[in-house]
Structure 1
């Protein structure tokens, strides 16, 4: 970096350093459990092993555990379950795990073979064999092919399921790693192909090139055979950002129309820079906007805030587009036009493009509808795709070389099916259906609403037995998330149906503010200073279930993961009398320390920054770790974490368990060695986690 650039960067570096130091000092003076934040320390791992032994000793000795484990594993490893595929130039590709391929196998087939009941597959990469050959704990995290041929791939391999992964170049035709090919050592990194000899890479380049959240803010251009130390810097964000990402805009033929970088300022704000012959240009898009692709010769942008360029007003949640040729000529003066604008209770749920079409999935009152869009001369036209109603629909695959797509269709009681669609011929056919995992004939789904404390209606789905008696006696699990504009949509309950519903129990999914079920506004209503809104909504649903006499506090449990684990922690620390069970999966918990743990600093836009006094005050008002106090009785939670979780630090769960122990409160704690933020690295570990969860729930809620 030259002296002038260094001088310009000094204020932001100093500010980032000061904030980092202040966050590092956000320690409660009387907190005796800070030592558990050392993830791999010998004493800390010994503590986790002792806790695991206690939990496994109780739950695995329950006669229900072995039955639940075997039932879950049978469902998860079923040979007849759907093999989800991508539609690429080289065929239909799938990543598959079963009892013979615990780590998984990457494989390929044709559409004609896939249509058959028992398709023949061509193995591309056997990850079990690779891990054995290299004596590594590999977890496959996907690959990115070089367009248009897609023969050369950059594949990500993680040690035990961490977000940090190593990236290696692989030839999918010869099924071997490329000799002297691209190799990027382990790290949290993002990579995009430019051409066969060039990559754009955001990673740890050393010398303070990571943000406080642990992600890169420097993007470089890397040439084939070039050492990492010689890569050319092309973009530098700020150390106070969340991260920077490479940007390569390609059309369906693989042609590049722009390269650049994305400066991710926060989890909800970003800036785009495109590289041009006369120098880089920062696009004049609003910060809450995202470039989402190219389709029909148009550049597509999704808006998470209202925007009024050139006296044309676009509402929050709208999808807009630019003529690609006009935009390339002058990105700052190109005129945008509307593609889709949500009505009340609507939200854009998904977007995919084929060679000539755009496919939009629209949520309307948490129900899916799918439309085919085409741009013809001056306007977009849309046609509904006649998929089954009252289901959740997702585009599971879309071809950029043809006008073909595949959809997954399901609801809580309907086994998931795969539908193939040819947009050119309008042919729509059901190809695959997952095996029935449980008897749903005796169950129904009610779409209900609770009223939160500010009067807002909060929808939720209640899955129950048809003949259920509303006498407050139904063992009920309430699931929620409520963050980061993530929507909880109906999907087949599978193992949950077998392990829980078939016993006559009920399962509830709440669509809380903070999620995305009704668009950006639904999310923004529960951010920062308003985050308590999410917890209030969850509690309102719990109270509504009790008011309707679906269940009672003796029979009601809560379950959630990550942000949902924080949700559960907030619920049981604020209203412990409402619940008799709580399952916290890889939870956030100590919110006064979260910015100094794992990737926590990347979520400041969601929760606020405890280094800032005003924001600390609203976080402190709900942080579950600080809200566990003497004199209250908590519902003996089951806390599940992973040593390899480099997203939500495992010390959140560790410290929750340790504090409950210090308070003399019962709890269960299990820390899986592998698994990353998923807490499981393979189907065997997933079956074990399910068996632990539902054995625990049965002990707490079903036993007399």
Structure 2
């Protein structure tokens, strides 16, 4: 996908916001780095660590987790193929903040890369006295000699962007530099950028993103950049993005109207031209002069109805000339499929799709008459596939499963598949099994889930389910040393000890395309909670686990999920893991980036929306109940996306009600929590000790 959407926004009501503040006695915990709030955080942290770290085997699990996370037998995943070179961002035990490096492509494909380090992020941080976290690089094709490198101080979403000279291996003296902000930037050409950033008072939206995009010319101060486009404060944000198609660079602007709607504009020498795509559609890439777009709702055209979830193409040459061309169909998924990723090499449009949550890679080609053909590539079945990078005539794709170590394949345009790198197993999978099952939700919908457990298990065993259920984000099975997300090898430790781990594909995600997401949107959120309960009940009914031995896990939007689930079904769940959680749905739109998600959840300041949100909001519905499940919260102080106050206020309410809870707030790391793998390893060991204690595992 060419860009990441921002999110939906409606105006807030100051009077209602003030009323909420009067009713909530714990607003002091929303003071992110306030002395009183941090003192409470440190008390909770210390208590949790002292309690769980005393568990027998804790130090061994933490050490093993760190060794697994820092294992040098890891895929050197490509960031980008840059002509005849490839870049990679590498993290290991000696370089916890990572190395950005480059190798000739031929050597890389032969399995003997010749790496040259461009930036040692940890060393740069030591030199500059800043705790830098890597946020990526945007290099200008076709020469790739200059890049825009983004680094975050501490790991939040806001970052600093600086121009880098690849040949010299150094930042460009007096080159482009954009100060710390939540900004987006792309190259217009070698001497001009399109920059959407914080230009001072009034230049940001109510969601905290840039609303003004400007063209910045080399050698001039950013303050003198010329305005290209202005959105409104009510928009989510404005951001540029670009795609290279042959020898042409196409530059666009996106104005996010809500989280799920946007306006796309083509930047040309004569100004801006609106792309006539539906506001609900998502642009993917450019191929052969065609903007490839995914439809997120059905589109009626003169030639018929184009289905939701399909890929369509718009002629950019016609758009640049001021015309409004009709879209043409590129690929329509069937009922079991969802198109997830699109990328381009010289003569192929690569499409990664899910088919009953298993990955498939297709090569699409466009004929002279504008028609498209597709061919499935010969990659392993029942696996998670990701298009890592594309070059002139190849796609590099990673393939893995819960019991299948990751491999990197070079898929050529002629259909040949070559193994570039396959990792050795990090654990003995012969004693384990993985299977896909289906539960039946309250409304009769079949909900898929993946179950991993010991091969010859007899009788019910302690089990925990990880799920997400939001933002059209599919949850696919990756290698067990990385399951669940941001908890390192927790899933591995759990199954090795004789227990069961489950990844649930509940509605709200994108496992079956836009309709799967829309089924649990806004007023329909309850369906995701029902789906999770259906999976849990199915696990008990089929003898996988038993009452009192079932836990659930979720992070970010998953915090809404597990918080609501625990409130609604304390009889079903006995332990809850809640990472970087969203929990206070009455105030979420007033906290950090929260206003941008109102297209997903609703606007709590609108009485009609709050009427359905109040029924499940975890913070407002937490109550004294016998047998309420013990809950572990993990988060970061510097998370500038989901406010740490959500978890803090849940913790203090548990404390008030005398309920069991554990809490770990890491000072760095942003929304992803850990700024390095040492914290990830600590968290894996703490969570394993927590699950053992609360689910009665041995």
TM-score (norm 1): 0.94
More displaced 10-residue stretch of structure 1: 592-601 or 310-319: 310-319
Q: After superposition, where does 1:397-412 map in structure 2 within 5 Å?
A: 397-399=389-391, 402-412=392-402
Q: Please point out which of 473, 476, 484 is paired with 2:463.
A: 476
Q: Larger deviation: 116-125 or 166-175?
A: 116-125
- Which residue of the other structure, out of 280, 301, 324, is the alignment partner of 1:288? 280
Q: Of the candidates 605, 609, 616, which is equivalent to residue 603 of structure 2?
A: 609
2:654 aligned partner: 660
Provide the rounded CA distance (Å) in 2 between the counterparts of 1:299 and 1:516: 22
Does the CA-based 8 Å contact 1:216-1:244 persist in structure 2?
Answer: yes
Verify the 8 A CA contact 2:559 2:578 in the aligned structure 1.
yes
5 Å-filtered alignment, 1:88-167, equals 88-89=82-83, 91-115=85-109, 119-167=113-161
Which string of whole-angstrom CA distances, capped at 9 and with x for unpartnered residues, describes residues 424-473 of structure 1? Answer: 4x33111212231221111112211111111111111111122122x33x
Q: Which residue of 1 aligns with 2:259?
A: 267
* Residue 446, structure 1, aligned to residue 438, structure 2: no
**Partner of residue 445, structure 2:** 456
Residue of structure 2 aligned with 1:528, choices 498, 522, 528: 522
Q: CA deviation at 1:126?
A: 0.8
Q: How does 1:207-222 map to 2 (within 5 A)?
A: 207-222=201-216
> Secondary structure of the residue that 1:504 maps to in structure 2?
coil
**Residue of 503, 509, 513 corresponding to 2:503:** 509
In 1, Cα distance between the equivalents of 2:554 and 2:207?
Answer: 23
CA displacement 1:174-206 (0-9 Å, x = unmatched): 011101011111010000100111111111111
- Matched with 2:477 is 490
Match of 1:537 in 2: 531
For the 8 Å contact 2:314–2:328, the answer to whether it is kept is: yes
How far off its partner does 1:282 sit?
2.8
Return the alpha-carbon distance in structure 2 between the equivalents of residues 414 and 18 of structure 1. 48
Residue aligned with 1:578, SS: coil
Query: 2:408 maps to which residue?
Result: 418
What residue is the counterpart of 1:10 in the other structure? none
Cα deviation for residue 291 of structure 1 reads: 2.0
Residue of 28, 36, 53 corresponding to 1:43: 36
CA distance in 1, matches of 2:307, 2:262: 18
Tell me which residue corresponds to 1:11.
none
Partner of 1:8: none
Structure 1 position 56 matched with structure 2 position 43:
no
3-state SS of 1:641 partner: strand
Distance 1:68 1:282 in 2: 55
The aligned counterpart of 2:62 is 69
Q: CA contact under 8 A between 1:291 and 1:300: conserved in structure 2?
A: yes
| CA 1:99–1:389: 2 relative to 1, 3 Å | same
How far did residue 20 of structure 1 move? Answer: 5.7
Paired residues of 1:580 and 1:636 also in contact (CA < 8 A): yes
Specify whether residues 224 and 416 from structure 1 end up closer, same or farther in structure 2 by C-alpha distance, changes over 3 A only: same
Q: Is 1:231 aligned with 2:225?
A: yes
Offset of residue 52 of structure 1? 0.5
Between the aligned partners of 2:352 and 2:188, the Cα distance in structure 1 is: 30
Whether the 8 Å CA contact 2:275–2:319 is kept in 1: the answer is no
Q: How far 1:262 sits from its partner (Å)? A: 0.8
SS at 1:694's partner residue? Answer: helix
1:358 pairs, out of 349, 362, 383, with: 349
In structure 2, the residue matched to 1:12 is none
Say if 1:560 and 1:568, in contact at 8 Å, map to a contact too.
yes
Matched length: 681
Would you say the 8 A contact 1:438–1:497 is kept in 2? no
Q: Judging changes above 3 Å, is the alpha-carbon distance between structure 1 residues 581 and 49 closer, same or farther for their aligned structure 2 residues?
A: same
Cα separation, 2, equivalents of 1:18 and 1:563: 22
CA distance in 2, matches of 1:24, 1:148: 51
Q: Is 1:625 the equivalent of 2:616?
A: no
Residue in 1 aligned with 2:359? 368
Structure 1 spans left out of the alignment, 5+ residues = 1-15
The superposition leaves residues 96-131 of structure 1 with CA deviations (integer Å, 9 ceiling, x where unpaired) of 111211111111122343356664421111111111
Partner SS, residue 576 of structure 1: coil
Q: 1:69 to 1:331 in 2, by over 3 A?
A: farther
CA distance in 2 between partners of 1:280 and 1:675 (Å): 38
| 3-state SS of paired residue (1:436) | coil
Q: 1:331 to 1:61 in 2, by over 3 A?
A: farther
* DSSP 3-state at the match of 1:383: strand
Deviations 1:543-587 (A, max 9, x none): 111111211232111111101122111111111111111110000
Seen in structure 2, the aligned counterparts of structure 1 residues 18 and 121 have a Cα distance that, compared at 3 Å, is closer
**Which whole-Å CA distance do the structure 2 matches of 1:235 and 1:23 have between them?**
33
What SS is found at the alignment partner of 1:646?
Answer: coil
Map 1:666-685 to 2 at 5 A.
666-685=660-679
> 1:690/1:252 Cα in 2 relative to 1: closer, same or farther (>3 Å)?
farther
Cα pair 1:299 1:321 within 8 Å, conserved: yes
Partner Cα separation in structure 2 for residue 17 and residue 62 of structure 1: 48
Deviations 1:145-181 (A, max 9, x none): 0121111111111011100001111111101110101
Q: Distance in 2 between matches of 1:182 and 1:239?
A: 27
Answer whether contact 2:462 2:696 (CA < 8 A) is retained. Answer: yes
8 Å CA contact retained: 2:366, 2:373: yes
CA distance in 2, matches of 1:398, 1:29: 54
